[in-house]
Amino acid sequence: MRPLRAFQAFVTLQAVVTLCLLGGAMLVPGEAAANNYDRLGHGRLLTNDLLGDGHDRWRTGSAAASFVWSREWQGRAPDRPGQLLELRLNAEIIAPENLRRPVPGDRPLANALSLGLHTHFNIEATEIALGGDLVATGSQTALTDVQRTIHNVVDGTDPSLQVRRAQIGDDLFPTAVAEAGQEYRLGGPVRLRPFVEGRFGAETLLRLGADMVIGSLGEGGLMVRDPVTGQRYRTIAGDGRGLSFVLGADIAHVEDSEFLPKSRGYRLTDARTRVRAGAHWQADGGTELFYGLTWLDKEFKAQREGQFVGSVRLGIKF
């Protein structure tokens, strides 16, 4: 993958997620204002294997966007649920390794588009996030058209008719999500945050992991977790400035996945592991840049190997 193509792919993805942000910003502000909620910020993260190992396969691309409103923000989440609300949008394309002639047993093409409402609050020192997403799958999401647009830019390969016919079909999956974590200071600018996460719906799993931050990233703000990589991105900026580094890892037991249906004979791996690292830079004027690299372990028995995906966020303020 030539650097110019990777940059072109990033610009195209940035345009797509900006449209998502504009659409999401118009969904609830009037309702939130009527109930005395103040809009505090938004966050976004783009993930693609073009920015990782350079291949176009499996967990090939996703976009996450979040908008946050609160009644009681004082540099930390409130002590009661419902006082801080996050509107969350996610779009993801999952693909077989070969988009033209996949080998027998490779995973099917899957498009997933979700919209959800989540609340963040604290119980003493424990940070809680609870909510639900409605996940739409299939050609009804129109994500195949987005993929074709990106492939036209980077001279990529479009899925064959055979692959499109075998894709996960149109459906809707209500999905509950819960996460609990607690942050510990290890000395100086180093913080460690173990967490546990549960999902029930489009994918049903239980996940244990931890994230480490070296620097001021996230202090006095609110960070939420990208469902594909586990990278955490900022929705409320906080006070952090300068350069920060992040490290993280988690492991999940996946009971069921609508993207790898057992009715088609797919056998899930015994454990699903993710390992991630990243760097975030924030200027005094508000301009910021984040790049993260995540290794995703095999998700089903017939998958040949794991993969690397890259995640980016770019915010320029003039």
Instruction: In whole angstroms, give the CA distance from residue 58 to residue 17.
Output: 20
- Each of the 318 residues of the chain gets a pLDDT tens digit; together they read 444 444 444 444 444 444 444 444 444 555 555 467 889 999 999 999 989 998 889 999 999 999 999 988 888 899 999 999 999 999 999 999 999 999 999 999 999 999 999 999 999 999 999 999 999 999 999 887 776 666 556 666 788 899 999 999 999 999 999 999 999 999 889 999 999 999 999 999 999 999 999 998 888 899 999 999 999 999 998 777 789 999 999 999 999 999 999 999 999 999 999 999 999 998 877 788 999 999 999 999 999 999 999 999 987 765
Plot region of 128 (φ>0 → left; ψ -120 to 50 → alpha; else → beta)? beta
- DSSP state at residue 4: H
C-alpha Rg value of the chain to the nearest Å: 19
Which two three-digit tokens encode residue 208? 């244990």
Instruction: In whole angstroms, give the CA distance from residue 296 to residue 92.
Output: 15
Instruction: In whole angstroms, give the CA distance from residue 287 to residue 271.
Output: 38
Domain extent at residue 188:
3-315
CATH number at residue 203: 2.40.128.140
Contacts (Cβ under 8 Å, ≥6 apart) of 260? 107, 266, 268, 299, 300
**31-84 pLDDT tens trace:** 555 467 889 999 999 999 989 998 889 999 999 999 999 988 888 899 999 999
- Number of Cβ within 10 Å of residue 18's Cβ equals 13
- Number of Cβ within 10 Å of residue 255's Cβ equals 12
Q: What's the one-letter identity of residue 185?
A: R
Q: According to the model, what pLDDT value does residue 150 have?
A: 64
What is the reported pTM? 0.86
Q: According to the model, what pLDDT value does residue 284 have?
A: 76
Instruction: In whole angstroms, give the CA distance from residue 269 to residue 80.
Output: 38
Contact 258, 292 (CB under 8 A): no
Three-state SS for 179? strand
**250-278 pLDDT tens trace:** 999 999 999 999 999 999 999 999 999 99
How many structural domains does the chain have?
1
Please report, for residues 5, 62, 210, the alpha-carbon distance to residue 51 in angstroms, rounded to integers and kept in the order given: 10, 12, 24
Instruction: In whole angstroms, give the CA distance from residue 110 to residue 113.
Output: 10
* CA torsion through residues 209, 212, 218, 221, sign: positive
Counting residues of the chain whose pLDDT is more than 70, the rounded percentage is 85
Query: Which single residue is written with the structure tokens 């058209």?
Result: 145
